[in-house]
Structure 1
């Protein structure tokens, strides 16, 4: 295929080659080449192209801990991609999935898109999903998966301008590891760089693309830019002066496909031509990128339709019974039982009729509480036989930005009605019911209309992308007062639903209409905030529309988001007709068991472009479970969310707590089957659930070792640990045996289901260094397996673990190493529930100190730091170190530095610093040994540029000798790239890597 790609490349004109660098590559009719676009979202189903099978969110798939399940889901998704393409050529075969960014911080707005906080689990699941997306043919690919988002991307706050400071150990042991696993597994077609910078350099010009990523495989990986990121290089990031320089740098760094200016390719192609004319790139740079793109297209069978085994995939392969069953299986496997004091499974105690569908049903509703007519109602028993399902997630299936539209769906309420019958299900959504009286006169009124939203029509695209409707009458300030359902999603962010169940939304003309099925869109137009009106003392409120930032006013045509500030806003008196917790308490009191369905809306308070500022459960939802529990102690909390919450009070008070990510089209059915014991829950947490915000360091601190972040390093007590999840059965772990064969370890153990029901168990194997010389994880996942176990039948689990998995990145020598010493392999049911431990000893020569006297010292390779960040040594490659805040000293520690001269009169008689300072004035670099012995200090004057390094020497009064710990303090804005040590004489010139670009 590479030869064929070269042959085709040589037949293309230069203009035709340049045109292929844009996401939307035009057809080349003279050669019979069709149009092609990179980028079809397929994170948990085919997205953005209309109805498709919707699987659980990626973080929910992570909770399954089941690579084989993800392989099958990838196969189903890619089959639907092919099937949809057969009827719609807009559907692309280059799929942008999965997201392998590690869930380092649960406040990340895109937490729903990742698999886990652990690199080994993430790599395992991503490799499996890409194998499914790729297909199993030895030559042709069903789809071509691209991993997102390279690299160290875990914040939305200022995501295009913030820099992730990633020390070498974190880079190699953590962030690289999540990508390297699936790339080496062989089913990855490419990667997408992230918007952020890493160590001061934008990911779209990252040297790691060339120096690391492309060395992990012999395949010609395609690098697709994120949308608009090429322009960011010269615009928001101001990393380059011109777009031609930026485009050239990205192309040279390895970006092959430019996703910019939507379908208008003229801007990018003009920049490429401009860069070529200025000599910033040459034709070979263009050819390299086009060759990679053509090779991918050949692998997709584009030029061999008669040989492509997937070319005949048609509509019959879409929304198949097998895909529906798989969606339900995935949703069931994703459910995590966090706590259970014996209330679950519900079974006959909650009126279960063995799953028999009773006929009839309530369907989706929007009222407060659905009352059941008395105990003599047809099909109804007493209150003890009823189940109350309450809360804002009780009767909804949520989509997210990367979902397709629902072909079918199952809410928790619908599934309970199907199982128990309408007479045995009591419902309350938990929303406050409010009316708004206008100070200018009249009540807010919603005109009645027979129209329904067109967003869910069979042929439409994802309703999350739909524009606001203007064909419905606006909300007015006259007529009968509308009772609105107010949902408070936390932080004062509200949605308001009209009596017909539709959300108030604002279209391009600014008018409020009851026109949306749900919040959605790149800019959500369905969220509001109530704020005290100026001068009212809190008696009246101004209504701010969060999508536009404008305040609502009253006009003759209707309510409109038009005022720039609160002084021009309409003043509303808010009349609460019923509190949501009162409706929930009433429903709970009339039932034998209560299920409180809490969680988030994926478009509100945490999503792409928006991080969360707290892990606390929204106050309204906190009140709901408390009201339910006060009325009925048999209360279960079901959290359906894209991320963890701190629910410590609920854990302490309630008999049962479950979590699931938004479970896709089968969410309600899956939850119901778990609640009633048809399925024993076996989901495991893919990330730590912290007890409070106080457990979390700054969102932008990417040094997981220094900040003691994730289960690997967290020193506190989490609410729920990584890997946690309970079962309706019990398991006995026995006989852990570890054997070594060369560079591989084999760990085997026996696990027996000692309970009464068949159930899945997830056996987790961790490694731990007993007496490490450098900070190491408390324990680190090295293997796992999910397996169904029958009661009373012992089964043997065996894991093969490379010896290197015990090691770490040695910053002193720039390589991966496994230190000699004592280690443990630990088998358990979670990172905090270790059942068996086996010890082993690794022999070998002792670690060698840093040979600084002959090799010098790269400043970025410190062992620990305080107040420092890594920055770009040049625009092209290399790292330097600088104070995070120029007014606060940065301190660096380098352990085990061999200065030579032990027992002699020699040693490091001269220390030479490679330093740069852009600002006028002087910075100071201080050098000392660990015992406080000063080695001297150097003043660094302005060098004219952050990339212009000068050599500054320090001559210690007493040359350090032997193996010592070096401390370096940076005072003032300065970049330190390197230190050289010698017996004296003139310092050598800076290495080329230290120069400017």
Structure 2
């Protein structure tokens, strides 16, 4: 290093010293500018521009062609951490290779999503790995380890986990609050993040849009109280897009953007993703907050330091030492093979009445809306290669053995003038919309305004009407182009697939009672109706009275085509499922587990025509289907570029299926809690607590092989259990088995999981081969969060260790006794009670005690139009010692609190006078009935009251 070279350029110095040196050279204005997602270059120091955020959930997204792997929920279904690590390696390698060609590709990747799949109607179900925190963290750790790379100093990419915290609803996602009691917080939601952060494989996290316990995640004290205590590494916290402005604009949590931005920065947000590439508003807000004394330069420095730490780890300042700088591997044969392997391992066989695998020479009818589709989702890259189930079956069995019927209804739309909607022929499409060889270029077609709009004529065009359920449909021209609406409002056949942040390819048909078979055609994206003008068909009518009335003429029913194909086949494969951009996606939750009615009709038609029917569900989430009359049932998430090949190989038996369900499949909507009920313990959610009979349980998945389990042995010592078991392939088929290890407290003092995944292993066994598997379980595996004492505790007593092929298919078990710490009763006279530390509750929700930290409890809906509300809290085993004489509560709002024992004995009734606001707490005290010893305490809250603490004195 020369005398002129600054220390931050000295690769011999530790990163921390180099970060400090660079930070000291930046002006305050330069530091503030670095806090926006698009940080500008600092040319006087030779520091390049930097962008946080590159989507890479299952491949490099939004940056053009890249290898597309199965959706995240499909990767979760593999239960294979080694495979997922290799997928992460491939994705980060392609990220580096793409960046070498295009500096818009970022190295700070926003992936994976580790929100738990608590509720299967969540619109973003496809983005998570599992409903179980242990499986989720294991898969997430594997993926981030692959993304990070194994170099001790320089990272290939810097992954950020999404979305902190307790985020499982798209409905009003920026204003709804998840009520998460301490046990659920520690045992469920935090666990999904914690093990991956502790593994040292992530660069940071992204807060979610929602609120938790009444406080927006972007000002969450948990970032400081939990996240940053799990590691000594500097963690970068990146805001979600637009969320900083939401703090004022939609959540109304702060009065000014300066207050909001300052609060987020102080809470731990280091990079603000807001207003796209325009950083001026965030810079202005941060500078204003600094000028108003809401921030200090030290607050700004802390955030900038964390940003720079990531950039140094990515090798930005040491290009000559960065081992990843010259990565060129992109769309390699190895990556293509890995995409196929991942898709094959993600297939889950749910039922098989000896219908599968299909024999050579079998005549197959492949039918259904997904039969010839390779669907992408919002976070997919652009396909370089693709295979649909139909193409995969053609390839595997030969086109002469495969018949196809999509099963869509073919329709014509007749106008009130007697003409029909007509799609311009492909020959009429402009040359600009064609590729080099004259073929339609889908990338150029979508959203174009120079393509000819639909018109009307006396013959019209047969359109494929694809019904996705809930009244949502798409319309497709004979050449495969979907009807879409561009910014100018004209309807054109101009999209390869439905897609986009606002989908422009979806419509609704609204019956017009005043006309026989008359319908209005409403465009969902704009909310306007289709009308016919001299210059073409457009969406221009806001009022139904101004819309065109179409007569819907069905020229062929989809069921008829399915029936014809099924009747002449040996086996029917119905491929059903969802389009990831419709009826369940980011911004939109599902409303039902049911398969769309049109797809149910196709399935019924296939079964009626041919009893040898297999249903292959290709979907981003579970469905409630009746498997009774189905010979075989499979599920796979949308499997990326190799989806069709993988499914065909499983159907043919080239690969024995070994995917396992990463979440419970429920039998009906009646089994589900409210979407916004985040109390998995109280409302008995997920396989951990669900007491009903699932359609298919967590961890379920069948094989073409058979396996036995023997020799379960459990040894205890050195603070852990060592569990071993021998698994043998007793069939003539080489296959994978997923061995699952669960634990259960036999006689818990508080509600504990029915069983809980502690470890798993996916193992490949040749016919007749055996493998002895060993697992090491630290004793803290058996702990629970003791709300009475605010800590993890191992309860002494009996525990079961269970080993099997699913959460309900347990092959071996044994019972062990563990020493632990007996729980003394709650010392309520000495310590009082925090209201949120209840053991049980009825109609209560947790809210923010202050805007900065702490919790309070209020009746659900209190302060809203539904009324004042009433709730009950239960605190078990409260020790009143030698007796009480006074009771006190710390509360805000207005209402009352009744404190009573389980037998109905009232200790005190306290009225809370109206306070000036929700954070204006007052202490109300009064005489209490004399009670001694240990009792359960019941507190009934009435009114618009927020209870923070309860105290007693003798």
Relative to the length of structure 1, the TM-score reads 0.92
* Equivalent in the alignment of 1:412: 389
Tell me how far apart the structure 1 counterparts of residues 435 and 941 of structure 2 sit (CA, whole Å).
62
Kept in 2, the 8 Å contact 1:505–1:512? The answer is yes
* Equivalent in the alignment of 1:988: none
Structure 1 residue 625, shift from structure 2 partner: 1.1
Kept in 2, the 8 Å contact 1:464–1:521? The answer is no
* Equivalent in the alignment of 2:924: 952
Kept in 1, the 8 Å contact 2:418–2:458? The answer is no
* Equivalent in the alignment of 2:447: 468
Kept in 2, the 8 Å contact 1:484–1:496? The answer is yes
Structure 1 residue 885, shift from structure 2 partner: 2.6
Q: Secondary structure at the match of 2:564?
A: helix
| Mean Cα deviation higher: 653-662 or 565-574 | 565-574
- Which among 742, 755, 758 is matched to residue 766 of structure 1? 742
* Equivalent in the alignment of 1:904: none
Q: Does 1:279 align with 2:293?
A: yes
Kept in 1, the 8 Å contact 2:446–2:495? The answer is no
* Equivalent in the alignment of 2:895: 923
- Which among 834, 846, 860 is matched to residue 858 of structure 1? 834
Tell me how far apart the structure 2 counterparts of residues 465 and 228 of structure 1 sit (CA, whole Å).
29
Q: How does 1:364-443 map to 2 (within 5 A)?
A: 385-443=362-420
* Equivalent in the alignment of 1:939: 911
- Which among 482, 486, 495 is matched to residue 465 of structure 2? 486
Q: How does 1:862-881 map to 2 (within 5 A)?
A: 862-881=838-857
1:254-294 per-position Cα deviation (integer Å, ceiling 9, x unaligned)? 00000000000000000000000000001000000000000
Q: Does 1:628 align with 2:606?
A: yes
Structure 1 residue 158, shift from structure 2 partner: 0.3
Q: How does 1:499-898 map to 2 (within 5 A)?
A: 499-533=478-512, 535-536=514-515, 539-647=517-625, 649=626, 651-886=627-862, 887=867, 888-898=869-879
Tell me how far apart the structure 2 counterparts of residues 740 and 193 of structure 1 sit (CA, whole Å).
40
* Equivalent in the alignment of 2:21: 7
| Mean Cα deviation higher: 479-488 or 579-588 | 479-488
Kept in 2, the 8 Å contact 1:527–1:547? The answer is yes
Kept in 2, the 8 Å contact 1:465–1:522? The answer is no
Structure 1 residue 421, shift from structure 2 partner: 2.2
Kept in 2, the 8 Å contact 1:873–1:879? The answer is yes
Q: Does 1:305 align with 2:286?
A: no
Q: Secondary structure at the match of 2:763?
A: strand
Tell me how far apart the structure 2 counterparts of residues 429 and 613 of structure 1 sit (CA, whole Å).
25
Q: Does 1:133 align with 2:104?
A: no
* Equivalent in the alignment of 2:344: 332
Tell me how far apart the structure 1 counterparts of residues 396 and 622 of structure 2 sit (CA, whole Å).
29
* Equivalent in the alignment of 2:944: 973
Q: Secondary structure at the match of 1:652?
A: coil
Tell me how far apart the structure 1 counterparts of residues 369 and 240 of structure 2 sit (CA, whole Å).
34
Kept in 2, the 8 Å contact 1:916–1:940? The answer is yes
Tell me how far apart the structure 2 counterparts of residues 786 and 509 of structure 1 sit (CA, whole Å).
53
Kept in 2, the 8 Å contact 1:465–1:521? The answer is no
Runs of 5+ consecutive residues of structure 1 not aligned to the other structure = 352-384, 902-906, 984-997
Q: How does 1:115-154 map to 2 (within 5 A)?
A: 115-154=129-168
Tell me how far apart the structure 2 counterparts of residues 526 and 240 of structure 1 sit (CA, whole Å).
38
1:45-70 per-position Cα deviation (integer Å, ceiling 9, x unaligned)? 00000000000000000000001101
Q: Does 1:319 align with 2:300?
A: no
| Mean Cα deviation higher: 69-78 or 549-558 | 549-558
Tell me how far apart the structure 2 counterparts of residues 676 and 659 of structure 1 sit (CA, whole Å).
15
- Which among 85, 101, 104 is matched to residue 115 of structure 2? 101
Kept in 1, the 8 Å contact 2:426–2:479? The answer is no
Tell me how far apart the structure 2 counterparts of residues 280 and 557 of structure 1 sit (CA, whole Å).
57
1:600-623 per-position Cα deviation (integer Å, ceiling 9, x unaligned)? 000000000000000100001111
* Equivalent in the alignment of 2:880: 899
- Which among 149, 153, 167 is matched to residue 181 of structure 2? 167
Q: Classify 1:654/1:337 alpha carbon distance in 2 versus 1 (closer, same or farther; 3 Å).
A: same
Kept in 2, the 8 Å contact 1:440–1:570? The answer is no
Give the length in aligned residue pairs. Answer: 931
Q: Classify 1:453/1:246 alpha carbon distance in 2 versus 1 (closer, same or farther; 3 Å).
A: farther
Kept in 2, the 8 Å contact 1:441–1:477? The answer is no
Structure 1 residue 418, shift from structure 2 partner: 1.6
Q: Secondary structure at the match of 1:405?
A: coil
Structure 1 residue 535, shift from structure 2 partner: 2.8
Tell me how far apart the structure 2 counterparts of residues 709 and 336 of structure 1 sit (CA, whole Å).
22
* Equivalent in the alignment of 2:7: none
Q: Does 1:56 align with 2:91?
A: no
Tell me how far apart the structure 2 counterparts of residues 568 and 423 of structure 1 sit (CA, whole Å).
51
Q: Classify 1:80/1:845 alpha carbon distance in 2 versus 1 (closer, same or farther; 3 Å).
A: closer
- Which among 356, 359, 378 is matched to residue 344 of structure 1? 356
Tell me how far apart the structure 1 counterparts of residues 303 and 34 of structure 2 sit (CA, whole Å).
9
Q: Classify 1:845/1:2 alpha carbon distance in 2 versus 1 (closer, same or farther; 3 Å).
A: closer
Tell me how far apart the structure 2 counterparts of residues 965 and 202 of structure 1 sit (CA, whole Å).
33
Q: Classify 1:452/1:493 alpha carbon distance in 2 versus 1 (closer, same or farther; 3 Å).
A: farther
* Equivalent in the alignment of 2:257: 243
Tell me how far apart the structure 2 counterparts of residues 333 and 347 of structure 1 sit (CA, whole Å).
21
Tell me how far apart the structure 1 counterparts of residues 642 and 780 of structure 2 sit (CA, whole Å).
41
Kept in 1, the 8 Å contact 2:887–2:908? The answer is no
1:536-574 per-position Cα deviation (integer Å, ceiling 9, x unaligned)? 3x6211111000011111111121111113222111111
Kept in 1, the 8 Å contact 2:445–2:495? The answer is no
* Equivalent in the alignment of 2:222: 208
- Which among 269, 274, 295 is matched to residue 309 of structure 2? 295
Relative to the length of structure 2, the TM-score reads 0.96
Tell me how far apart the structure 2 counterparts of residues 466 and 814 of structure 1 sit (CA, whole Å).
59
Q: Secondary structure at the match of 1:402?
A: coil
Kept in 2, the 8 Å contact 1:436–1:443? The answer is yes
Q: How does 1:85-96 map to 2 (within 5 A)?
A: 85-96=99-110
Tell me how far apart the structure 1 counterparts of residues 686 and 497 of structure 2 sit (CA, whole Å).
34
Tell me how far apart the structure 2 counterparts of residues 457 and 748 of structure 1 sit (CA, whole Å).
59
C-alpha RMSD of the superposition: 1.5
Tell me how far apart the structure 1 counterparts of residues 101 and 432 of structure 2 sit (CA, whole Å).
22
